[in-house]
Amino acid sequence: MEGLKRLALALVIIGAVNWGLIGFFQFDLVAAIFGGQEAALSRVVYALVGLSGLYCLTLLFDPMEEKNTERENSAQTGRLNYGTEFGEESDLSNLENHDQDTFNKND
């Protein structure tokens, strides 16, 4: 379903750019590429852009979904949750000495 949304959005953007070119420069890019406004391929592109616009209209009225997963919340706020905010932190000073002793023994 996500692929259909992206395809529809891409076609709507193509249509919007084409209408902008028509409005500003009186140049129909789709007609220029596919052989005129009456060409079969141009009409197919125009029809697909129109159908995509109708599909995107339905997306406009879809309710926004709230997702409460921890991963998505951290991605939205930019803050990672490592779970140590309210917990006790481990004393790692002994671990550092142990690692150094192990390193020295291997020499």
Q: Assess if residue 19 is contained within a domain.
A: yes
Q: Assess if residue 41 is contained within a domain.
A: yes
Q: Assess if residue 47 is contained within a domain.
A: yes
Confidence of residue 88 (pLDDT cuts 50, 70, 90): low
Q: Assess if residue 4 is contained within a domain.
A: yes
Q: Assess if residue 73 is contained within a domain.
A: yes
Q: How many domains does the chain have?
A: 1
Q: Assess if residue 95 is contained within a domain.
A: no
Domain holding 62, by residue range, is: 1-85
Encode pLDDT of 45-77 as tens digits: 999 999 999 999 988 888 877 655 555 555 556
DSSP string, the chain: -HHHHHHHHHHHHHHHHHHHHHHHH---HHHHHHTSTTSHHHHHHHHHHHHHHHHHHHHHTSPPPP---HHHHHHHHS----S-SSSPPP--HHHHHHHHHHHHHT-
Q: Assess if residue 16 is contained within a domain.
A: yes
Encode pLDDT of 10-39 as tens digits: 999 999 999 999 999 999 999 999 999 999
